[in-house]
Amino acid sequence: MITLAGLLDDAKCYEAVRQYRWADGVTCPHCGSKTVNKRGKHDNHPERQRYCCRDCKKEFDDLTGSIFSGRHQPLRVWVSCLYLMGLNLSNQQIAKELNLHKDDVQKMTSELRQAVFDNKPEVQLAGEVEFDEVYVTAGHKGHPEAVKKKGGRGVAASSKGFGDGVRSKRKNRRSSA
Ligand SMILES: [Zn+2]
């Protein structure tokens, strides 16, 4: 069976991660230093570059501290999953494309979504907060009385009235039958 993950190789995926993650140069995830030495390849993953920080002396690799770190599935499966999510495929469709169980894909997509949310640039978050504020304020400004009524006793009173009406109707039907 041909799958998207099967057509990709890990080398290309690591290359893509390096291009994206180290766009401004390799940065130590422990202390933020940019004075870093390469330190060979990962023992179990020959495509994964290792580094050693010259400031804090700690070691890390291309995936350290990222959503892809310490995963059972190879990087190409995660990258493929991310790609298919971008195409708006359902978990079921992604599972089929990657030849994985739907429950596994469900876990992967929710973690990836969470990671994307966590890494949302500040500008986007600020924009969202501002939008909420404007929306709420506009509602109050336009119809302050309507907003007060909707949130207050008005709704409760009218739904109680409706309930009574239905009950009395039933009673009427029963008594006439
Ligand atoms: Zn460091």
Domain boundaries, the chain: 4-115
Residue range 136-173, pLDDT digits in tens? 333 444 555 655 555 444 333 333 333 333 343 444 44
Q: Which residues surround ligand 1, an ion (CB under 5 A)?
A: 28, 30-31, 33, 53, 55-56
The pLDDT tens digits of the residues spanning 44-90 come to 899 999 999 999 999 999 999 999 999 999 999 999 999 999 999 99
Q: Which residue has the tokens 């739907």?
A: 102
The alpha carbon of 39 and the centre of ligand 1 are apart by a number of angstroms equal to 14
Handedness of CA 35, 40, 44, 48 (dihedral sign): positive
Q: What is the pTM of this model?
A: 0.63
Show Cβ contacts of residue 115 under 8 Å, excluding neighbours closer than 6 positions: 67
